[in-house]
Amino acid sequence: MTKLWQKGFSTEKLIEQFTVGKDYELDKYIAKYDVLASMAHAKMLEKIKILDQTELNRVLEVFNDILREIEAERFTIESGFEDVHSKLEYLLTERLGETGKKIHTGRSRNDQVLVALHLYIKDEIKNMVARTQSLFGVLTELSEQYREHVIPGYTHMQIAMPSSFGLWFGAYAETLVDDLYVLEAAYRIADQNPLGSAAGYGSSFPLNRTFTTQALGFEDLKYNVVAAQMSRGKVERSMAAGMAAIAGTLSKLAMDICLYMGQNYGFLTFPDQLTTGSSIMPHKKNPDVFELVRAKCNKIQMLPTEIGFITNNLSSGYHRDLQLLKESLIPSIETLKSCLHITTFMLDQIIIKDGFMEEERYKYLYSVEAVNEKVVNGLSFRDAYVAVANEIANDRYQPQKQLNHTHEGSIGNLCTRQIKEKFERAASFFK
């Protein structure tokens, strides 16, 4: 096995197997970013006279070749390598000899993985924002399309007051705005350059960290080298918090859909080819997609806690515990992206049903409307409440189903335009 820390003696095989973990599998996701960071580092080394111009050109040529391999999905990290960092240095040394060995000057694998993760997280946040924007677009279109389609609103799982599909779809659309705010905080944390912190205590080489910050497109530098090292764990946890926010929205939406598809509700359905059946019950039309979205997103909502338990009692400085964070974070990012994609795909083909509001069980949905009408006609709210309660108790209540909700954000005034503007303001941060 190729290791960056090799000192000339062999490690016990059992120790080797236990400590390597899954880095060589997961590092394919950050390979591009390690190459980009290495290219910026090489340019900086030329500026401080560690590399000459000819050496830099040769290093950049090799890295560009590797980038093309990564983009074409031909780049592999064999199990004989600990991680992407050892594979890249091996390739560089194999092709350039002594020049390739200079690339590690002034940095540690610690700040290598840190800067790659920061760049990776920045890009993945933008990917999530784009997918969230697609979902938001479908939700707002459905909100307007079904703005007058009344459904029951529930409190305590009891029939409560009139709602509408317009209100319901719009609610999830606007909730996504809050999720972008959490992602923005994660992006700001990731948008600080840790490169040059080496093992967490800096270097005696005259590194130009401002240069690499600008070259890599970071908004700012993580100045204190110990603070830079301590961003390992914090940047992943902040990303996890942003992901958990979106996952919470998707999970609640999925739960509503599972309920609303059930025979006891019957508000909506999907084309047969988007649902599954039962092996013994021929009438079944199961919402498997949304059950899996719910489960996957509930699991993602545990991610900040999982990362917190791995990192919250670690002292400053590097610890091998941090290696496990990639195993938690990277698969969760892929899962959340797939959940956003499939939810958007499904909602784009949703079928809203008609006629269910005529059922007797929704008779008392309009009781608050009756109370409000009596108040408008001069009765105090408390007296009006008692009067309608007595009508219900004595089976004299007759629902009046005309609705006149006009305030901002109500059934009759969805404020879709304002919600779209709010979302655009939130999303514009990531452009």
Q: Tell me what the pLDDT averaged over the chain comes to.
A: 93
Statement: residue 212 has pLDDT above 60: yes
Q: Say if CB 140 and CB 165 are below 8 A apart.
A: no
Residue 159 carries which DSSP code? E
Q: Say if CB 291 and CB 258 are below 8 A apart.
A: yes
pLDDT band at 14 (very low <50, low <70, confident <90, very high): confident
Statement: residue 281 has pLDDT above 70: no
Q: pLDDT by residue (tens digit) across 338-364?
A: 999 999 999 999 999 999 999 999 999
| From 21-35, 139-153, 227-241, 409-423, the region with the lowest mean pLDDT | 21-35
Q: How far apart are CA 231 and CA 213, in angstroms?
A: 16
DSSP string, 134-189: HHHHHHHHHHHHTTT-EEEEEETTEEEEEEEHHHHHHHHHHHHHHHHHHHHHHHHH
Statement: residue 5 has pLDDT above 90: no
Q: Taking the chain, what is the end-to-end CA distance rounded to the nearest angstrom?
A: 42
Q: Say if CB 401 and CB 148 are below 8 A apart.
A: no
| Mean pLDDT value across residues 180-208 | 97
- Return the pLDDT at 42: 97
**% the chain with pLDDT above 70:** 94
Q: How far apart are CA 76 and CA 148, in angstroms?
A: 55
pLDDT band at 237 (very low <50, low <70, confident <90, very high): very high
| Mean pLDDT value across residues 321-333 | 95
| Closest C-alpha to 174, from 139, 225, 209 | 139
Q: How far apart are CA 370 and CA 182, in angstroms?
A: 41
| Domains of the chain by residue range | 13-105, 119-147+163-358+421-428, 360-393
Model-level pTM?
Answer: 0.92
| Closest C-alpha to 426, from 247, 191, 187 | 187
Same CATH topology for 13-105 and 119-147+163-358+421-428: the answer is no
Q: Is the dihedral of CA 310, 314, 317, 321 positive or negative?
A: negative
pLDDT band at 9 (very low <50, low <70, confident <90, very high): very low
pLDDT band at 328 (very low <50, low <70, confident <90, very high): very high
Q: How far apart are CA 234 and CA 190, in angstroms?
A: 9
- Return the pLDDT at 81: 85
Residues 6+ apart with CB under 8 A from 419: 140, 170, 173, 174, 177
Q: How far apart are CA 73 and CA 154, in angstroms?
A: 50
Taking the CB of residue 281, how many other CB atoms lie within 10 A of it? Answer: 8
| Mean pLDDT value across residues 109-134 | 97
Statement: residue 301 has pLDDT above 80: yes
The encoded tokens of residue 162 equal: 């009139």
CATH code of the domain occupying 13-105: 1.10.275.10
Q: How far apart are CA 76 and CA 403, in angstroms?
A: 63
Statement: residue 54 has pLDDT above 90: yes
| Mean pLDDT value across residues 297-313 | 97
pLDDT band at 282 (very low <50, low <70, confident <90, very high): low
Q: pLDDT by residue (tens digit) across 385-428?
A: 999 999 999 999 888 888 989 999 999 999 999 999 999 999 99
> What CATH architecture applies to the domain 119-147+163-358+421-428?
Up-down Bundle (1.20)
| Mean pLDDT value across residues 19-42 | 89
| Closest C-alpha to 413, from 147, 116, 211 | 147
- Residue whose tokens read 């959940």: 339
Q: Say if CB 77 and CB 15 are below 8 A apart.
A: no
